[in-house]
Chain A
Amino acid sequence: MHVIIGGAHNGKREFVRKLLNELNEEDINWCEGEIPAPGNDTVVLAGLENWLAQCELSEEKAYDFIIKAVEKRPAIIILTDISRGIVPMDANLRKLRDTCGRVYQRLFAEASEVTKVWYGIPQTIKKRGE
Chain B
Amino acid sequence: MVRGKLTFISGGVRSGKSAFAERQLVEIAEDCGGRLVYIASGTRVDAEMKKRIETHRRDRAENNWLTIEKPVNLEEVVPFIRENDFVLWDCLTTWLANELYTGWETGTACIALPNCMERKETHLYNTIEAILAKAPQLVIVSNEVLDDLPPQDAETKTYRRWLGMIHQKLVARANTAIEMEYGMPMFWKKGDDR
Contacts and interface: CB of A to CB of B under 8 A. Distances in A.
Which interface residue of B146, B165, B177, B188 has the most chain A CB atoms within 10 A? B146
Given A120-B172, A121-B171, A121-B177, A82 B148 contact: yes
Interface residues on B, range: 20 to 34
A97 B149 contact: yes
Contacts of B145: 85
Nearest to B12: A84
B179 A118 contact: yes
Contacts, number: 62
B147 interface: yes
Contacts of B146: 7-10
B44 to A, nearest CB: 24
Contact of A7 (B147, B170, B171): B147
Interface residues on A, range: 20 to 34
A83 B165 contact: no
Contacts of A93: 149
Interface in A31-81: 81
B171 A85 contact: no
B163 A82 contact: no
A81 B147 contact: yes
B148 A85 contact: yes
A8 B188 contact: no
Interface string A96-129: 1100000000000000000000111101000000
B165 A9 contact: yes
A118 B188 contact: yes
Contacts of B161: 9
Contacts of B188: 118-119, 121, 123
B23 interface: no
B164 interface: yes
Contacts of B147: 7-8, 81-85
Top 7 A-B residue pairs of the complex, sorted by shortest distance between their CB atoms: A9-B164, A85-B148, A7-B146, A84-B147, A7-B147, A119-B171, A81-B147
Interface of B: 12, 144-150, 160-161, 163-165, 167-168, 170-172, 177, 179, 188-189
